[in-house]
Amino acid sequence: MTATAFAPRSYTGNPQKNSPALGATLAYMGVDGLLALLHGSQGCSTFIRLQLSRHFKEPVPLNSTALLEDTAIFGGWEHLKKGIAKAADKFKPRIIGVMSSGLTETFGDDMESAWSTLRQERPDLSDLPVVLAKTPDYVGSLQEGYQRTALALVETLAKDPAPQDAKTVALFPGVHLTPADVEELKDMVSLFGLTPLVLPDISTSLDGHSELDPAPVVQGGITLEEIRRIPGCVAAFSFGPSMAVVGEALQRMHGVPHMAVHSLTGLEAVDIFVLKLCQISGRPIPERLLRQRSRLLDTLADYHDQIGRKKIALALESDLLLSLAGCLAEFGAVIQTALAATAPDPSAVPPGIPVIVGDLEHLEETAVGSHLIIANSNARQAALPLKIPHLRAGLPVFDRAGMPQTVWIGYRGTQRFLIDCLNAMAV
């Protein structure tokens, strides 16, 4: 793995990192009937709602324990107990998902002891599932907060054994997959006669459907009953290198065979996944997928001269960065720079991809001379002065329509990604 050297500096310029608590909120949005509770200030929860709402164009139900100045000194342990109790009494959620913040983690609030004490004081809440995720702002980015929360969901809600089901598979999608991506993934698995249990499942909660009335809890996503069936799955797949720990936890807890899928964008990556589904289901590749693969090959034949040797600069969360950069390299493009928000697992980096941790100011320095920039909407501040086409990806995307409905995985999605890159460079 090679990397571009940056001049040393003592600041972060135009950071591309998002709050881990934002990633935790996104994970909780994939669980039906869950009430998300941020153990932090109201300002933090307001920012998270704003960031997610302008990306998904959907209301984001998020509550907070509303910590004030005194709790920054004396701690928010009592606030957390009161917050859980009040949320349970007022909104009657099926599950409460709590995430910490930089403030409470710095002080050292013990969320486990707060919940344990509350159960003793309120025996009527003992049967209420409460998930606790530690997501301090100073550890990782959006991706790490999402990963920690998905792991907490599995360890808390899927800890008990379940009846074995040879036709059910568990899917753990990474934060880099859009609601439409997750729906495409479910459709691919279903074509093999398998039933997918997806955790988190934002394909039915943040997909842009019309809700009759706003609600304080998540509407759509995987249900509690479905989560409790996950230990009985015949196999589990994690998508994105960061999510491998979730699949490994399920395998360790219940012996469910786990396969880590680093990417679902690109011909070889999709082929590997499809062949694994053939092996599990005992069925041949469906004609629909073969047709989609044929269309992708035809698109590559038609446009290989327009994508080959094009210089691409990317700045994204590491799972999405590795997926898109690996696909572009497979198709002959040159990855000029690949800036990750946080350091990826070196073993997951495709050969020849120059990955380095950097911000959007680094992007402006290293993208000079490239044909295309792929990054979130904030990278427009780098793309415009350089007069380089900018394809929006990742989160947030607030100056282009339809990002949550974009499909860039599978054969069909890989073809769409290639076309989107070509059209962006043609402007």
Model confidence at 212, pLDDT cuts 50, 70, 90, reads: low
Share of the chain above pLDDT 90, in %: 86
Model confidence at 119, pLDDT cuts 50, 70, 90, reads: very high
Which two structure tokens, joined as six digits, stand for 364?
């402006």
Q: What is the pLDDT of residues 61-88, one digit of tens each?
A: 999 998 887 776 776 888 899 999 999 9
Domain annotation covers residue 161: no
Residues 234 and 335 in one domain: no
Average model confidence (pLDDT) for the chain?
A: 94
Q: What is the pLDDT of residues 262-302, one digit of tens each?
A: 999 999 999 999 999 999 999 999 999 999 999 999 999 99
Residues 31 and 90 in one domain: yes
**In this model, does residue 17 exceed pLDDT 80?**
yes
Model confidence at 1, pLDDT cuts 50, 70, 90, reads: very low
Domains in the chain, number: 3
Domain annotation covers residue 159: no
pLDDT at res. 5: 59
For residue 193, the enclosing domain spans 168-288
Residues 382 and 267 in one domain: no
**In this model, does residue 210 exceed pLDDT 80?**
no
Which two structure tokens, joined as six digits, stand for 133?
């995720």
As a whole number of angstroms, the distance between CA 73 and CA 302 comes to 64
Residues 89 and 37 in one domain: yes
As a whole number of angstroms, the distance between CA 25 and CA 38 comes to 8
Give the SS3 label for residue 170: strand
Residues 96 and 34: beta-carbon distance below 8 Å: yes
**In this model, does residue 424 exceed pLDDT 60?**
yes
Which CATH number goes with the domain that contains 186? 3.40.50.1980
Report the residue count for the chain: 427
Q: What is the pLDDT of residues 347-383, one digit of tens each?
A: 999 888 999 999 999 999 999 999 999 999 999 999 9
Instruction: List % helix, strand, coil for the chain (3-state, nearest 5).
Output: 50, 15, 35
As a whole number of angstroms, the distance between CA 341 and CA 16 comes to 6
**In this model, does residue 8 exceed pLDDT 80?**
no
Provide mean pLDDT across the span 230-244.
Answer: 98
E strand map for 276-420: 311-316, 334-340, 355-357, 372-375, 390-392
